[in-house]
Structure 1
Amino acid sequence: MSDSVLLVEDDRDIAELIRVNLLELGVETIVQDQGDKALKMALENDYSLLILDVMLPEVSGLDICRQVREQKPSQAIIMLTAKSSETDRVLGLELGADDYITKPFSVRELQARVRSQLRKVHVLQAANSADVVDNNGPLVIGDLHINQKNHQVVFQDNELELTATEFELLHHLASHPNQVFSRSQLLESVWGYHHSGYEHTVNSHINRLRAKIEIDATSPQIVQTVWGVGYKFNPQGVEF
């Protein structure tokens, strides 16, 4: 099955630019310029990826992101934001977006972001396939079980509902206990690109992950900050 993208953008020139360049990747792009119609389409159909402009008629891209994330936790989402609007970028990530692209953007940047998200989608699809064989078995650290075969995370006998990106971030950190990763290193390893200025992406995902896995997210014991450097996974935090 080919990949499909629902692009929600009310600027026709930008929408056509994105559609043409995603076509080069072999991606089918469905364009919608009305937020309310786009939300209905996103909830009723299965798309590999949603690309949402923030400012839309009727329903904003941020509202679409929030409602889709609530009903479709694994849906891949990229936000389109104005270069000067840091608030929109941070809010979009906090509402559940996997990544964001600032306008104006380069074709190379656009394609890199989309390829990165589609790669995660393909991994998740493979994980849900009955034909997948997990030769390594789950990663078990204390009371934390991370199963790559079905993208399942269980902590203290409770299954955590993580997005595909949150899962990859946790798995990467837990696979290297006590190793400190900078934000740039995490961008490259988890998101698949290295681009200065996108550290908000890492910070917001760390905060979202902590909210789901830490007993007290304000005093994290599992995913810890190493000030001035980055983040690390503390294995003692999951051993009870």
Structure 2
Amino acid sequence: MSDSVLIVEDDKDIADLIRVNLTELGVETTHQDQGDKALTLALEKNYSLLILDVMLPGVNGLDICRQVREKKPTQAIIMLTAKSSETDRVLGLELGADDYMTKPFSVRELQARVRSQLRKVHVLQAANCEKVDDEDSPLVIGNLSINQKNHQVIFNQQILELTATEFELLHHLASHPNQVFSRSQLLESVWGYHHSGYEHTVNSHINRLRAKIEIDATSPQIVQTVWGVGYKFTPQGVEN
């Protein structure tokens, strides 16, 4: 079954540009320029990826992102924002977007971002379909268990509800305990690309991950900041 993408964009030229270039990737596309209708489609149908513009008639892209994320925690979402609107970029990421692109964007960059998100979708789909064997041992550190086979994270006997990108970020950090990663390194390893200026993507995902795993997100003990360098996973934070 081919991948399907819902393009939510009220600028017809931009929507056509996205649609043409995703078709080249063999992706089926649906376009909607009204926010309220797009929200209904996103909640009722199963799309591999949503590409959401922020400024829309009716319901705006940020509200769509928030409501979809509440109902569909693993839905892949890329936000489109104006180059001058840093607030929209940060808000979109904090509300649950996996990634964002600023207008105007290059065709190659668009295709790279879409491929990256679809790869995560395929991994998640495979995890949901395949039987988990005893040999597929999870990564266990203290009270934290990360099972890459079924994309499940258990901490202190509670299942954490993570997006696909949050899962990949946690798994990458926990697989290299105490190793410090810069934002650029995390962009390349987790998101699959390296573009300067997109560090907000990493920062916001770290914040979202901390909100779900830390006892006190304002004083993180598990995913810690190394000032001036980046982030690291601290094993002591998940031990008894």
State if a TM-score over 0.5 links the two structures.
yes
1:158 aligns with 2:125: no
Aligned residue for 1:239? 239
Aligned residue for 1:69? 69
Question: How many angstroms does 1:131 deviate by?
Answer: 4.6
Question: How many angstroms does 1:133 deviate by?
Answer: 5.5
CA contact (8 A) 2:66 2:96 kept: yes
CA contact (8 A) 2:143 2:156 kept: yes
Give % identity.
Answer: 87
Aligned residue for 1:221? 221
Aligned residue for 1:188? 188
- Measured in 1, the distance between the counterparts of 2:218 and 2:181 equals 20
Q: How does 1:140-179 map to 2 (within 5 A)?
A: 140-179=140-179
Closer, same or farther: CA 136–130 of 1 in aligned 2, 3 Å: closer
CA contact (8 A) 2:224 2:234 kept: yes
- Over residues 92-139 of structure 1, what are the superposed CA-to-partner deviations in whole Å (9 max), with x where a residue is unaligned? 000000000100000011001100000000000011113565755100
- Measured in 2, the distance between the counterparts of 1:25 and 1:101 equals 18
Closer, same or farther: CA 107–133 of 1 in aligned 2, 3 Å: farther
1:49 aligns with 2:71: no
Paired residue secondary structure (2:224): strand
Q: Which amino acid letter does the alignment assign opposite residue 227 of structure 1?
A: W
- Measured in 2, the distance between the counterparts of 1:106 and 1:154 equals 39
Closer, same or farther: CA 42–134 of 1 in aligned 2, 3 Å: farther
- Over residues 3-39 of structure 1, what are the superposed CA-to-partner deviations in whole Å (9 max), with x where a residue is unaligned? 0000000000000000000011100110000000000
Paired residue secondary structure (2:129): coil
Structure 2 unaligned regions, length at least 5: none
- Measured in 2, the distance between the counterparts of 1:47 and 1:124 equals 14
- Measured in 2, the distance between the counterparts of 1:206 and 1:26 equals 32
Aligned residue for 2:24? 24
1:116 aligns with 2:140: no
**Given the two structures, how large is their TM-score scaled by the length of structure 1?**
0.98
Aligned residue for 1:86? 86
Q: Which amino acid letter does the alignment assign opposite residue 69 of structure 1?
A: R
- Measured in 1, the distance between the counterparts of 2:23 and 2:133 equals 32
- Measured in 2, the distance between the counterparts of 1:115 and 1:140 equals 30
Moved over 2 A (4+): 130-136
Closer, same or farther: CA 224–52 of 1 in aligned 2, 3 Å: same
- Measured in 2, the distance between the counterparts of 1:226 and 1:135 equals 35
- Measured in 1, the distance between the counterparts of 2:235 and 2:21 equals 43
Question: How many angstroms does 1:149 deviate by?
Answer: 1.1
- Measured in 2, the distance between the counterparts of 1:24 and 1:133 equals 37
- Measured in 2, the distance between the counterparts of 1:83 and 1:39 equals 24
CA contact (8 A) 2:136 2:149 kept: no
**Given the two structures, how large is their TM-score scaled by the length of structure 2?**
0.98
Q: Which moved more, 1:100-109 or 1:129-138?
A: 129-138
- Measured in 2, the distance between the counterparts of 1:222 and 1:134 equals 27
Paired residue secondary structure (1:43): helix
